[in-house]
Chains A and B, each alone.
Chain A
Amino acid sequence: MEKAKQQQKPFSWVRIKNQVWGVLSNPFNVIVFISLVTLFCLIIIPLFTMVRDTFTVAKAELRQMPGASIGDMTLFYWKYLFATVLGTSVFLPALGRSLMIGFFVTIISMPLGALLAWLMVRSDIPGKKILSMLIIVPYMIPSWCKSLAWLSLFRNQTAGNLGLLAGMGIPVPDWLAYGPIAIILVMSLHYYAFAYIMVSGSLRSINSELEEMGEIQGANKVQILKSITLPLVMPALLSAAIMTISKSIGSYGVAASLGQFTGYQVLSTLLKYFLNGTPQRVGYVISILLIIMASGTIIANQKLIGVRKSYATIGGKGTRSNPMRIGWAKWPLLAFLVIFLFAAMVMPMFALVMESFQLRTGAGYGANNLTLYAWIGVWENRPLPFLAYDGLLKNADFMGALWNTVKLSLIASIITAFCGQFLGYISTRGRGKWYGQLTEQMVFLPYLMPGVAFGAIYFAMFSQPRLGGFIPSLYGTFTLIVLVSVVKHFPFASRSGTASMMQISPELEEAAEIAGASFWRRIGSIVIPLSKSGFVSGLMLAFISITKELDLIAVLMTPTNRTLPYLAFEYSKNMPQGADAIAIVILLFILLCYTVANLFGADVSKSM
């Protein structure tokens, strides 16, 4: 009844005029409108376009469909994948492998990450301070660098160039060097970070008095861990498991480089296979499946854990945390930590660096096998006939890719960070209002999509002119790479933007409004000065993430807009030293960036 009373107002032109003017004269409304439209065009429309394309006939398939014309409705592409021998013979194995990889990566990285987290947060293991700094380093190494390192250790005759072990005369079978085991181990050494970061966050919020209470009641350490600590971190562990499954199913770079020599296809590599071949739109279908699988797990997680999550912080009042004494067990655990760091950090770095200086890979480190060719060699004077490229510093490809990478990272991260603050502003000021929620939901979508599937969406959208030529084909342009990088990083950037906008109470702006400051003046003298540090740290993390990105842009690469990660991937096929050298350049660059970002107070764990 009260609702009705609000609306019962006689029609009046003056009121309509004032209402319209009230909406239009407020720049905030205009901005909200513009950003909703932009988000819609950059996220919803491309997704929708790709989905629609899987149901319509493309020119390439006309011959196979007598009587059809371009743009007709068809189930051809879906049937191709699910109901033809050509399709199912590649699709079903790839699906099975992706699921299997997701499963085993989770099984391995959950206990690994959780154990590391517990050791670092709750135990009295010696050297904790330095160890906890080192433990996060493996995560900073891009996953494709780790697969390069794996190859440099395990490559055998199948790949042409031998790896370290094969070179020492140890026979390395294909099933170890390439394929599922390699992929699972490399991914586990990367995705342990989800469990590590989430569980250590959860452990930190648990008051150690809860555990001490158990001790007073007479429980031993194992009982305490099992019946007090574990249930409390369970929600965090489950979330991490879901993230790990979702990420490892969608991951492209590792599977591609470790599967390339034996033709081991998983869903993400099959996606690229179809995009580069025919029928192209089958690739779109796979992309949709990947999105459904990845987002399904994440959404299910939010629905299931959402409610229970809250109790992870119960008793989180006290930050007092007395480490638990683990006695003699500290030595085997310390040994375990050292082995982990060796396998995940020292060994890959060592293998990459050393191999980049080798003339023949796998031929030892004798003086006659050491060279700077991969760095400064010139192809005309190559010492061995099969060396395929100039050394990096003399190599136009490398210089081009370096320039592309720097340009892309700079431009895209600035745009990303700016948009992130902006979107964060709209979602915080619109909290509880329809436009705030809509913004948050749209911005969240790219998070649910694996990088390679998101790349495929942009491939589908922009590989041909749209709107009757109003939007030209952007395939192969630098603009497209920037666009896809920016939009894919929206979720992360707007989360950091939201965090920094939450610090600025709306009353600070209202006080300025009453003082007579216009909207833009308020943004200029209140919002921007107060969100500066959030902007800088968001910028740095986006910069690093875009620099090392491979999955997202893999399907959009053309020779002129290649970036360093993609070039390394290309080189890894037949010139591993060159690939290693590129990886080293990127690693040094990233470590430098992280160090700088840390000085500015950015939280590395937020860049996941």
Chain B
Amino acid sequence: MSKIVLEHIDKYYGSNHVLRDINLTIEDGDFMTLLGPSGCGKTTTLRVISGLEKPQNGRMTMDGRPIINAEESFFEAPSKRGLNLVFQSYALWPHMTVYNNVAFGLKIKHMPKKELTDCVTNALRVMRIEEYKDRYPNELSGGQQQRVAIARAIATSPKLLLLDEPLSNLDARLRIDMRAELKRLHKETGTTIIYVTHDQVEALTMSTQIALFKEGEISQLDTPLGIYTNPIDLQAADFIGNPRINFVNGTALYDGGELHVKSSLGEYHFPQKDIKLDEECPLNEAFDCVLGIRPETIEISLENEGHKNTVSASVYASQPAGSETLITLTVGDAELLAIQIGLKEYDVNQAVFAVLHPGRMNVYNKATTRLIKYAHTTQP
């Protein structure tokens, strides 16, 4: 059980500034996901936390105990941090059987034989790989190796479990199974988990908290729902969510009270309480903005039922996929992707009505690409 605090962590490789002033608090029992595209410093962060890399600046504590203090060149040894790490490559020792791979850390700790056997067997059982205990890693499938790697990490009952893209080498089916498995593991053991991934679906489905990385910085820290409804900038909005968010260009004017946005969808007036006031937002001056509209917030009806924000649209293409249907609409010169549950049939160029919900839209300042107006998770 542990609470981890990272403060002002800087990591350089030569002159390459890989981590830039990372500040992060991970509460006891969190499932914290570090999410970001490849090369943004997620693995480096994990290696700094585990002690395999030494940052040039910053501090780290676990439950108040100092672990890193770069000012004093103090770095606790990795093995004394009470954590364990699952590598992206799994890093299973090829010359040891599954049993010995899992038992290695416990043997190092000189655990009595009886207890050791129990611990290993328990870890193997939790990961459901007991029957493979006498095999060598190269005699296992990718998914099984993955389980061994996790079993090895949890056998020592670490207070903190670090996972580096553990599912990226698995095929799509296995990945979904393992997501459920990991989530269950987190619930059952209550261990604090830091999980690295570039897959936003994994992040959204598993985490309690997500730290969004961008070029060595944490650009946003929030719950999955928070990140999903209000991505901090255009890039994040584009990255998170599948199918992708719709962007519609418009012009905005902020008069100190309301934000007025004009676009091909019509004109909206957003109340001040939804405005993100700490962002750059010119006063009484028109500026370019971008509306962010999630596909699931767009309703489609065949009749105009008189909702306030109904626009007429035409079906460009529809893709029924069994459980859901993706419909591409054109509204004026804007193109919108909508999603509906179940199998729906639309004809190409069919005229329909789209019901929009401005309260659930994000507004971004086009110049800074930053979020300036929050969306609500439900229609107010």
Determine the distance from Cα of A14 to Cα of B72 in the docked complex, in whole angstroms. Answer: 6
Q: Is A215 an interface residue (CB 8 A)?
A: no
Q: Is the CB of B105 within 8 A of A9?
A: no
**Of the candidates B84, B89, B94, B104, which one forms a contact with A530 in the assembled complex, judged by CB atoms under 8 Å apart?**
B94
Q: Do A516 and B71 contact each other (CB < 8 Å), given the known contacts A511-B87, A530-B94?
A: no
Q: A9 to B83, alpha carbons, bound, how many Å?
A: 30
Q: Which of B51, B57, B74 has the most CB of A within 10 A?
A: B74
Give every chain A residue within 8 A of B109 (Cβ-Cβ).
Answer: 516
> Does A515 interact with chain B (Cβ within 8 Å)?
yes
- Count of chain A residues with Cβ under 8 Å from any Cβ of B? 28
Bound-state Cα–Cα, A3 to B83, Å? 32
Interface of B is mostly: mixed
A141 to chain B minimum Cβ distance, whole angstroms, is 38
Chain A residues positioned under 8 Å from B50 (CB to CB)? 514
Q: Report the separation of the CA atoms of residues A516 and B104 in the bound assembly, to the nearest whole angstrom.
A: 9
Q: Decide if B56 touches A6 in the complex (CB within 8 Å).
A: yes
Task: Considering the complex, give the chain B residue whose CB is closest to the CB of A6.
Answer: B56
A1-36, CB < 8 A from B? 2-3, 5-6, 9, 12, 14-16, 18-19, 22
Q: Which of B100-115 contact A (CB under 8 A)?
A: 104-105, 108-109
Among the listed B72, B74, B79, B93, which residue makes an inter-chain contact with A516, where contact means beta carbons less than 8 Å apart? B79
Q: Judge whether B170 is part of the interface by a CB distance below 8 angstroms.
A: no
Tell me whether B93 and A526 are in contact (CB under 8 A): yes
* Interface segment, one of A84-92, A129-137, A332-340, A502-510: A502-510
Please state if B72 and A15 are interface contacts (CB–CB under 8 Å).
Answer: yes
Instruction: Assess the A15–B73 pair: CB atoms within 8 A.
Output: yes
Interface size class of B (residues with CB under 8 A): 20 to 34
Measured in the bound complex, the distance between the Cα atoms of B261 and A568 in whole Å is 98
Known: A508-B91, A511-B85, A513-B52. A12 touches B71 (CB 8 A): yes
Q: What is the 8 Å Cβ interface bit string for chain B, positions 173-215, against chain A (1 contact, 0 not)? A: 0000000000000000000000000000000000000000000
Does B156 belong to the interface (CB within 8 Å)?
yes
Cβ-based interface call for B37 (8 A):
no
Check: B273 CB closer than 8 A to any chain A CB. no
Contact mask for chain B residues 1-35; partner A; CB cutoff 8 A; 1 contact, 0 none: 00000000010100101000000000000000000
Closest B residue, CB atoms, query A18 = B73
* B207-228 interface bits toward A, Cβ cutoff 8 Å, 1 = contact, 0 = none: 0000000000000000000000
Question: Is residue B241 contacting chain A, with contact meaning CB distance below 8 A?
Answer: no
Closest beta carbon of chain B to A13's beta carbon, Å: 9
Contact A9 to B71, CB < 8 A, known contacts A508-B91, A513-B78, A515-B156: yes
B residues less than 8 Å from A530 (CB atoms): 93-95
- Contact assessment for B89 and A521 in the assembled complex, using a CB-CB cutoff below 8 Å: no
Within 8 A of A (CB), among B51-77: 51-52, 56-57, 71-75
Q: Does A529 contact B (CB under 8 A)?
A: yes
Q: Which residues of B lie under 8 Å from residue A521 when comparing CB positions?
A: 108
The answer to whether A18 and B74 touch (CB under 8 A), given A510-B91, A515-B84, A515-B105, is yes
In the complex where A3-B15, A18-B72, A22-B73 touch, is A515 in contact with B89 (Cβ < 8 A)? no
Question: Nearest chain-B residue to A504 (Cβ)?
Answer: B94
Cα–Cα, bound, A516→B79 (Å): 4
**Docked pose: A18 CA to B54 CA in angstroms:** 13
| Shortest distance between the CB of A259 and any CB in chain B (Å) | 53
A14 to B93, CA, bound (A): 38
Whether A513 contacts B79 by the Cβ 8 Å rule is: yes
**Nearest CB in chain A: distance from B49 CB, A:** 11
Please report the C-alpha to C-alpha distance between residue A22 and residue B56 in the assembled complex, in whole angstroms: 14
Q: Is B95's CB under 8 angstroms from A515's CB?
A: no
- Bound Cα distance from A510 to B73, whole angstroms: 21
Q: Is A19's CB under 8 angstroms from B73's CB? A: yes
Q: How far in angstroms is the closest Cβ of chain A from B366?
A: 30
How distant is the Cα of A513 from the Cα of B81 in the complex, in angstroms? Answer: 11
Minimum CB distance partner of A9 in chain B: B71
On whether the beta carbons of B73 and A505 are closer than 8 Å, the reply is: no
| Residues A529 and B79 in contact, CB atoms below 8 Å apart | no
Quick check: B17 and A2 within 8 Å, CB to CB? yes
8 Å CB contacts to A: which residues of B122-159?
152, 156
Question: Shortest distance in angstroms between B16's beta carbon and chain A's nearest beta carbon?
Answer: 9
Residues of B within 8 A of A2 (CB): 12, 15, 17
Q: What residues of B have a CB within 8 angstroms of the CB of A18 in the complex? A: 72-75
Q: Closest chain A residue to B81 by CB distance?
A: A514
Is A512 close to B, CB under 8 A? yes
Is the beta-carbon distance between B108 and A507 smaller than 8 angstroms?
no
A517 at the interface (CB under 8 A from B): yes
Q: How far is B86's CA from A514's CA once the two chains are assembled, in angstroms?
A: 10
- On chain B, the residues within 8 Å of A15 by CB distance are 71-73
Residue pair B91, A507 in contact (C-beta under 8 Å): yes
CA distance A5 to B57 in the complex (A): 10
Q: B89 contacts which chain A residues (CB < 8 A)? A: 505, 507
What's the Cα separation between A3 and B16 when bound, in Å? 9
A515 pairs with B17, CB closer than 8 A: no
B223 to chain A, nearest CB (A): 29
Within the complex, the shortest CB–CB distance from B98 to chain A, in Å, comes to: 14
Cβ of A507 and Cβ of B17 under 8 Å apart? no
What is the 8 Å Cβ interface bit string for chain A, positions 530-550, against chain B (1 contact, 0 not)?
A: 100000000000000000000
Q: Which residue in chain A gives the minimum CB-CB distance to B15?
A: A3
The one of A19, A516, A529 that contacts B105, using a Cβ cutoff of 8 Å = A516
Q: Is the CB of B87 within 8 A of A507?
A: yes
Give the residues in chain B near A525, CB-CB below 8 Å. 104
Give A18 to B68 CA distance when docked, in angstroms.
12
Query: Please, which residue of chain B has its CB at the minimum distance from the CB of A514?
Result: B78
Q: For A517, list chain B residues within 8 Å (CB).
A: 79, 104, 108
**A20 nearest in chain B by CB position:** B73
In the complex, what's the smallest C-beta–C-beta distance from A12 to chain B, in angstroms?
A: 6
Alpha-carbon separation in the docked complex, A270 to B202 (Å): 74
Residues from 248 to 280 in B contacting A, C-beta threshold 8 Å:
none
Specify which chain B residues have a CB less than 8 angstroms from the CB of A512 in the assembled complex: 93, 104
| Nearest Cβ on chain A to B89's Cβ, whole angstroms | 6
CB of B95 within 8 A of CB of A529, answer yes
In whole angstroms, how far apart are the Cα atoms of A16 and B71 in the complex?
Answer: 10
Do the beta carbons of B87 and A515 come within 8 Å of each other? no
Which chain A residues border B83 with CB–CB below 8 Å? 514
A134 CB to nearest chain B CB (Å): 36
Chain B nearest CB from A309 CB (Å) reads: 27
Contact between B108 and A6, CB atoms less than 8 A apart: no
Contacting residues, chain B, for A6 (C-beta < 8 A): 10, 12, 56-57
Q: Provide the residues of chain B in CB contact with A514, threshold 8 Å.
A: 50-52, 78-79, 83-85, 105
Give the most central of A16, A18, A529: most B CB within 10 Å.
A18
Complexed CA–CA distance, A526 and B108 (Å):
13
Q: Tell me the bound Cα distance from A12 to B70 in angstroms.
A: 12
A515 partner residues in chain B, CB cutoff 8 A = 79, 84, 104-105, 108, 156
> What's the minimum C-beta distance from A51 to chain B, rounded to whole angstroms?
35
- B72 CB contacts on chain A under 8 angstroms: 12, 14-15, 18
A505 partner residues in chain B, CB cutoff 8 A: 89, 91
Residues of B within 8 A of A5 (CB): 10
**12 A-B pairs with C-beta separation under 8 A:** A14-B74, A15-B72, A18-B72, A18-B75, A22-B73, A505-B91, A508-B91, A510-B87, A511-B87, A514-B52, A515-B108, A529-B95
Identify 19 new A-B residue pairs, CB closer than 8 A, beyond the known A6-B10, A517-B108: A3-B15, A5-B10, A9-B71, A12-B71, A16-B73, A18-B74, A22-B73, A505-B91, A511-B91, A511-B93, A514-B83, A515-B79, A515-B108, A516-B108, A516-B109, A517-B104, A525-B104, A530-B93, A530-B94
Residues of A within 8 A of B (CB): 2-3, 5-6, 9, 12, 14-16, 18-19, 22, 505, 507-508, 510-517, 521, 525-526, 529-530
* Leading 9 A-B pairs by shortest Cβ distance: A515-B105, A516-B79, A507-B91, A18-B73, A511-B91, A19-B73, A516-B108, A15-B73, A14-B72
